[in-house]
Every structure is written in structure tokens, then in C-alpha cells.
Amino acid sequence: MHVKVINPNTSRDMTETIGACAREVAAHVTAVSPAMGPASIESHYDEALAVPGVLSELHGADAYVIACFGDPGLDAAREVADGPVLGLAEAAMHVATLVSRSFSVVTTLGRTVQRARDLADRYGCAAACRGVHACEIPVLDLDDEACDLVAEVAEAALREDRSEAIVLGCAGMGAYTKEIARRIDAPVIDGVQAAVTLAESLVRLGLTTSRKGEYAAPPPKPYAGLLAEFALR
């Protein structure tokens, strides 16, 4: 079973971190980053510019994970991938509802908070998502020292929201998962590990994206300019 984990940003260190987290829960994982895209994703603009690169990587595996908490390009990926596709937010939020009645999201910048709330609503998890809290830390500053800050925000989130679990709102936080769970004595869900595990489960169930309707293959048409190189068709 081969799961391809696609880091939509082009920061190699993050791709390494993401791959290491994924390999803790799955045997055959390839962690990649597209040749083109933003160094990190912290805005709608970054997210839009990350999608063509994500779509160009959807080949050569049994299942795919889009390893960014905004789930960039998830719906488009499901129209063209040859196996199931999971996003971090969707996977982590659903896993959180399997171990708690309510969860809080701890994310990077305040400007991405509403996006996380929108995704909770889209995935049917709005009632369980008691709050989204930002650490106000840029994605590429999520180094070892940042773990303390993320843990503090997680502890405060549980208290303020009266929630029962924490969803980490960035692929770059995955290395903190066990340490934060130890400090706050509550389940902490890393989207990378949740998505990889669910991806493998779908393959084991013999399930992939339905082609009946919204996720049917896109209608054939020309794609002009640079997109012609990346359009998977």
C-alpha cells in the first residue's frame, strides 16, 4: 500500500517533517512537494497558487494526502486522482469526533481562523468544533521552540472552549503531537497522521472517490499557457 503525501508548499524542511510524521503510522509513504508553489500557505492567495502544483502530483500511488490544513485543491484533486484523496482538516476533524464530543483547533495566523471554521462547517463538524485559536506564528517559524507556544494555546483553548480534544491546524505542528498530548492530558490530532491512516483504511475497504456526479472527471477542454503542462489530461 503506497500513500503519497503532497506538501503543497515548497519548503523542503516541512516536507521532511511531514514525511516523518506520516511514516510513524504507515509503512509505505512518499512525501513530495511540487516543483512550483508558495514557500508556505498563509492566505487565500497562497492557497490558489498552490493548487496547480498539487494537481500535478496526483499519480503513482494507491491514495493521496494533501498535507496542508486549508485542504487546498481537495475537490479538484478528487475529480482527477486515481485513488482516494484526503485533506488534513477534513481527516483531523472527523478523527477528533471519534474520540470526543467537542474539539478546538489550534492554528498559525489569525487570518486563517475563519477558513478553519468554514471547513468545519463544510465537513459537518461545526457543532463539534467549539473554537479555532491562532498562535500568531508564521508557518515557517514552527521550529522546536514553537512547541511551547502551541502547547500553551492548546491548553487555553481546552479551558476557554470547554472542549475535549485538540486538532493541530498546520502540517508543520505534527512533530509536537505527542508532547502536547502529554502536557494537556487530552487527545491531540495531527492532520497528517489522521489523513494517512484514513487513506490507508479507504484503500483496504476497496473504496475510492465516486465518479457519480460532482467528482466525475472534468469535461475535456484545452488548457492554455503554463497550465497545459500541469493539466492532468
Ligand X SMILES: NC(=O)NC1=NC(=O)NC1=O
Interface residues toward ligand X, by CB under 6 A: 9, 40-42, 68-70, 107-108, 112, 139, 169-171
- Closest approach, Cβ 206 to ligand X, in A, equals 30
Residue 70 near residue 48, CB atoms below 8 Å: no
By beta-carbon proximity to ligand X, the closer residue of 40 and 97 is: 40
Cα(168)–Cα(104) distance, rounded to whole angstroms?
Answer: 9
What minimum distance in Å lies between the beta carbon of 117 and ligand X? 12
Residue in the block written with cell 477528533: 96
Looking at beta carbons only, is 131 or 169 nearer to ligand X? 169
In terms of CB distance, is 65 or 184 closer to ligand X? 65
Main-chain phi, psi angles of 89, to 5 degrees: -65, -50
Closest CB to ligand X among residues 102, 112: 112
Q: Which three cell numbers stand for residue 207?
A: 473504496
- How far the first Cα of the chain sits from its last, in Å, is 25
Smallest distance, Å, CB 70 to ligand X? 6
Report, in Å, the least distance between residue 220 CB and ligand X.
32
Least distance CB 69 / ligand X (angstroms): 4
What whole-number distance in Å separates Cα of residue 144 and Cα of residue 134? Answer: 18
110 or 218: whose CB is closer to ligand X?
110
Nearest to 14 by CA among 33, 38, 42, 37: 33
